[in-house]
Structures are given as C-alpha cells and as structure tokens.
Amino acid sequence: MKIEKLHMSRLHNGEHFEFHTVFSGMVKAATPVKLKIEALWEPYTALYADLDEALKKITKSEHTARINQLDTDRDSIYRGMVDAVRSASNHFKADIRAAAGRLQIVFDTYGNVTAMTHDEESAMIANLLKDITVKYAADCEALGLNGWIGELDRLNEALKAAVMERYDETAGRSSLVLREVRGRIDGAYRVLAERVDALQIVEGGAADAPWAAFIAELNAVIERANNNIAIREGIAAAEKAREEVKE
C-alpha cells in the first residue's frame, strides 16, 4: 500500500488549506514519534503556520464582508425560487403543476448550488438562469418567477464583480505570497509522504506498526479531494463546451 497522488496544484485555496489541516490533524493523532517522522514534522508545521497566515491576508480583504453578504442574499433568493417551484407542484391547477414539474427537473439537475464555492455557484446560477429563461420562459411566467429571476441575476452579477475587485486588489500582493507558500508546504508534504511510504515498506510488518492504517485513512482523504477536482473540472469543461456551441 502506498500514499496515492493528489493533484495539489489543482486544488482551490480553501481546499488546499483544508487538506493540509486534515493531514496535520492525522499526524498529530497518530503522533510524529510513532510515525517516525518527527525530524521532518517541525519544518512542515512552520510552513503550515505560514500557509494559514498567507490565506488570512487574502480572506481579510475589505471586499470579503461585502462578498459574503451578497452570497447570503443570493442564496436566500435562490432558495426562495426553489421553494416557490416546489410549492407550485401542489397547485390546484393542472397546468401550474405541470409547469412546476418541468422546472423542478431543471433545479434538480443543478443540485444544491448554494454549497459550492463563490465562483462555482456564480457559473452554475448563470447557466440555470439561461436554461429557465430561454427553454422554460412560459413556465416561469406561469409561476410568477420573473421577479425572482431578475433579483437572482442582479445579485449574481454583483457578487461576480465584487470577487473580481478582490482579485484585482490582491493579485500582486497576498496571492503571490500564498502561491509561494503553497509550493513550499506541498514540497514538505511530499517528503513526509515518501518517508511514510518507505517506513511502511521497511518496518510495516510489525503488529503495532502505525503506517498502514495511517496510509489507508490518508488515501480516503486524497480520493475525496481528487473526486472534487474531477467534478469541478467536469463542470468547467461542460460550460466551455456550451459557450463554444453558442459561438
């Protein structure tokens, strides 16, 4: 058994920090001493502290509070639309129920977009709005959703603009620092992973050897992270294909 490969560079900043946080917690639980990686652990923990600080410099941007509020407002409107469609599925008029059923399929296809990152949710909402306003315009009209649609579109565009302003603000400063720290901690992680793999091969036969269980647990974390990357990149590829077809 070996530690699986994780595409670190393809992780978003939040995902990247979460992975290192989980990995750090796993090592602490197993203890660096029992894993026999204590000499490598101190440099890694110093880099983890640097990563935490670099990420905080970005998330503490003055635009963050406005972005978070816009996201909260946008999620509220989106959920309101979902509730309106669900409620209409019980309408006493058959044509209203039918319209709601067609729209419900669209919303079900997109899933819980409010659980996505800001950028992913923005893209998904933009696509959903295109679908329902073009293919299901009559159904939206029948359910009285046009006001909801206009407000959701307004908030979605405002949030995208606010995110871009934050990117512009941090592009030449904290983002560069974060990129450099990410590279260093990822290198330290790979050294640790290689050491654990080597110890599992050389000393893993003992009944109380900790490496096999540690590797199995870490591989489960890595598998989830790689799956999230694949899902996100699949969504992005589908969006790109949609745009190319329109052109």
Q: How many CB atoms lie within 10 A of CB 243?
A: 10
Residue 223 has what pLDDT? 94
So where are the chain's domains? 8-60+171-246, 64-170
- Nearest residue to 1 (alpha-carbon basis) of 221, 211, 225, 227: 211
Query: Which token pair is 24?
Result: 């750090």
Residue 73 has what pLDDT? 95
CB 99 within 8 A of CB 142: yes
- Distance, in Å, from the CA atom of 92 to the CA atom of 103, rounded to the nearest integer, reads 17
The DSSP result for 188-242, as a single string, is: HHHHHHHHHHHHHHHHTTSTT-SHHHHHHHHHHHHHHHHHHHHHHHHHHHHHHHH
Residue 239 has what pLDDT? 75
DSSP letter for 115, please: G
3-state secondary structure of 6: coil
Name the CA radius of gyration of the chain, rounded: 23
- Nearest residue to 145 (alpha-carbon basis) of 232, 207, 67, 86: 86
- Distance, in Å, from the CA atom of 27 to the CA atom of 35, rounded to the nearest integer, reads 8
Residue 58 has what pLDDT? 67
Residue 197 has what pLDDT? 94
Residue 79 has what pLDDT? 95
pLDDT per residue of the chain (247 residues) written in tens, 0 to 9: 899 999 899 998 888 999 999 999 999 999 999 999 999 999 999 999 999 988 877 665 556 778 889 999 999 999 999 999 999 999 999 999 999 999 999 999 998 899 888 888 999 999 999 999 999 999 999 999 999 999 999 999 999 888 887 665 554 555 668 889 999 999 999 999 999 999 999 988 776 789 999 999 999 999 999 998 888 888 878 877 777 766 5
Q: How far is CA 107 from CA 71, 173, 202, 236, in A?
A: 19, 39, 53, 18
